[in-house]
Structure 1
Amino acid sequence: MTQPTPPGQGGQPYGQQPYGQQQYGQQPGAGQPGYGYPQQAQQPYGQQPQQPYNAFPQQPQQPQPGGFPPPPAARGNIGLGVAVAFVAALVAAGVYGAIIGATEHEIGWAAVGVGFVVGLVAGKVGGSNPAVGALAGVFSLGAVYIGQLVGASMIIADKAKIDFTEVFFDNFDLVQEAWKHEADAMTYVFFAIAAVAAFGSAKRAGQ
């Protein structure tokens, strides 16, 4: 008597599978009997899907009204830069006056140094605003003027054998008159080069 074929064997003897018809590691395709697990895409051994280095999405820059790019961030503190430049001008005036009093001559490079120092300090602290450079030039003019008065007072005090403070503070009007009498074309040239040096150094330092 012929024995009935067990269900699910497809006519093959019980316990036998056709070896070699299905390769190792293959998953049953559509319409083939499987084990109920979803088929996954095979990746080469040892390789992982490549991800971009920066996995975070880049946020697009929002355009500004009118299509213009956003303005650069403000740099420097104008008020503090002006205040520091004023203090630097006072210090430079004292140094410049001491040089004039010691040499009894107006020195061009010293006037340039006054403007350079005042402008450098103003630009470093106050930034690249043109107003900072303009005020640095004005402060340099004042520093050169005060420095020349200090130098003249030192020369007068030395020749008269009196104290410097007595000449500079008690007889300031006389010192100004003496300065006007001694001023020449080169005196005003020193004013100009100090102001130009201050404005230029402030502009470079603020960049």
Structure 2
Amino acid sequence: MSKSAPPPHSEPQPQPADANPFAQQPPVGAAYAPPVPPAPRKDNVALGLVAALGAALGAAALYGVVIGLTKHEIGWAAVGVGFVIGLAAGKVGGRNPALAVVGAVLALGAVYIGQLVGEAMIGAKDVGVSFSELFFQHFGLVQEAWKQDADPLTFLFFGLAAFAAFSGTKKAAA
């Protein structure tokens, strides 16, 4: 008779669902610690607004330089302006729905300022004055030149930037 066979009257031990009898046991020699839950996300609307404003100022300047150097408005750059603003607002500020709306408004302003910066860069080269003189001392002329150069595509870029900021804020906060 074999000693390895269990007696016929003994009950089989219940097994875990994955059929691993050692799955419920901690590793030998290691202390068992349950997994740490992730920290709750804190919404900070004020900090999100500050981050979005900083991103808007930086993106507007960069967008203006791109326009000034290429002498063209570039659609993907306007989308990038909006996305950067939305990303900053959502990552720093959290899930507050007001951040998405404010991000879209800031994107509109950033694209407008960027287009004015680009217009001033182009005009300064044409007239032979410095950018700062034209932009700061003759801002009305820069705005008039922008109005004359504005076309439906210009306003499409506003919409694309606002949409990118709105959706970027939502995605970054998720």
If the length of structure 2 is used for normalisation, what is the TM-score? 0.76
Give the superposition deviation at 1:181.
1.0
Equivalent residue letter for 2:64: G
Residue of 77, 90, 113 corresponding to 1:123: 90
Is structure 2 residue 168 aligned with structure 1 residue 204?
A: no
Equivalent residue letter for 1:170: Q
Residue of 89, 93, 114 corresponding to 1:147: 114
Q: Which residue of structure 1 aligns with residue 66 of structure 2? A: 99
Residue of 149, 154, 159 corresponding to 2:126: 159
User: In the aligned structure 2, how far is the partner of 1:201 from the partner of 1:170?
Assistant: 36
Give the superposition deviation at 1:76.
2.3
1:54-81: per-residue Cα shift (whole Å, max 9, x none)?
xxxxxxxxxxxxxxxxxxx663210110
Q: Which residue of structure 2 aligns with residue 194 of structure 1? A: 161
> Identity over the aligned pairs, expressed in percent?
56
Equivalent residue letter for 1:76: D
Give the superposition deviation at 1:161.
1.3
* Aligned counterparts, 1:177-192, within 5 A: 177-192=144-159
Higher helix share: 2
Query: What secondary structure is seen at the aligned counterpart in 2 of 1:143?
Result: helix
Is structure 2 residue 55 aligned with structure 1 residue 83?
A: no
User: In the aligned structure 2, how far is the partner of 1:192 from the partner of 1:121?
Assistant: 19
Residue of 83, 89, 108 corresponding to 2:75: 108
If the length of structure 1 is used for normalisation, what is the TM-score? 0.64
Q: Which residue of structure 1 aligns with residue 103 of structure 2? A: 136
User: In the aligned structure 1, how far is the partner of 2:141 from the partner of 2:43?
Assistant: 42
Q: Structure 1 regions of 5+ residues with no counterpart?
A: 1-51, 54-72
* Alignment RMSD (CA, Å): 1.3
4+ residue runs of structure 1 moved beyond 4 angstroms?
A: none
User: In the aligned structure 1, how far is the partner of 2:54 from the partner of 2:141?
Assistant: 26
> Comparing both chains, which one has the higher relative contact order based on Cα–Cα distances under 8 Å and sequence gaps of 6 or more?
2
User: In the aligned structure 1, how far is the partner of 2:95 from the partner of 2:173?
Assistant: 4
User: In the aligned structure 1, how far is the partner of 2:104 from the partner of 2:150?
Assistant: 20
Q: Which has the larger radius of gyration?
A: 1
Q: Is 1:76–1:124's contact at 8 Å kept on the other side of the alignment?
A: no
Equivalent residue letter for 2:171: R
Q: Which residue of structure 2 aligns with residue 170 of structure 1? A: 137
